[in-house]
Structure 1
């Protein structure tokens, strides 16, 4: 688990780390770097956190994460087969 308001996530057969902790009401970003060429890992999205991004191979992609509400918010690959979670702590 990562506890900071910036997290680096390696995408390689899943997400590592799979759970990210962020502080509420602090600006936050997630940076995804895809190391695997599995098709469905070429995209990441979260309806709850309002982002959808293509992940080119070996290129970091950063998304801003809203932290106004505490709670647990899921993200997943384009086919919803691989999942991760953002926990926004009070």
Structure 2
């Protein structure tokens, strides 16, 4: 093996290791609980190409207020549905729209646009 072949092989191996580390060994950040304000867990969700944040952690049996602010004009983001809580909201562009409910079951519950392309997750914990 020539020096050039060794350098190319080692560089390729290094790059493969970096790709593996970046995509499959990336540590997950702990998500904070939704802040409690006046006895209500309140979270602002920005709708722009998706939901930010897309994962929300709340406590069971404590009222939740999710406020959606749509900052785009895509037809897909005109509505958000929370089927497990029997809630559905129309989201006018540039306006804050809130939904309130009290989760009584522990688990992971999805919210999504009417087409299911934009998705988020509500995690209810003790």
TM-score (norm: length of structure 1) = 0.94
Q: Within 2, Cα distance between the matches of 1:80 and 1:31?
A: 19
The 5 A counterparts of 1:35-46 are 35-46=71-82
Aligned residues: 90
**One of 37, 45, 57 as aligned partner of 1:21:** 57
Comparing 63-72 and 22-31, the one that deviates more:
63-72
Higher RCO, 1 vs 2 (CA within 8 Å, ≥6 residues apart): 1
Q: CA deviation at 1:50?
A: 1.2
**SS in structure 2 opposite 1:48?**
helix
TM-score (norm: length of structure 2) = 0.68
Unaligned regions of 5+ residues in structure 2, if any? 1-30, 35-40
**One of 102, 105, 112 as aligned partner of 1:66:** 102
Unaligned regions of 5+ residues in structure 1, if any? none
Larger radius of gyration: 2
Structure with greater strand share of residues: 1
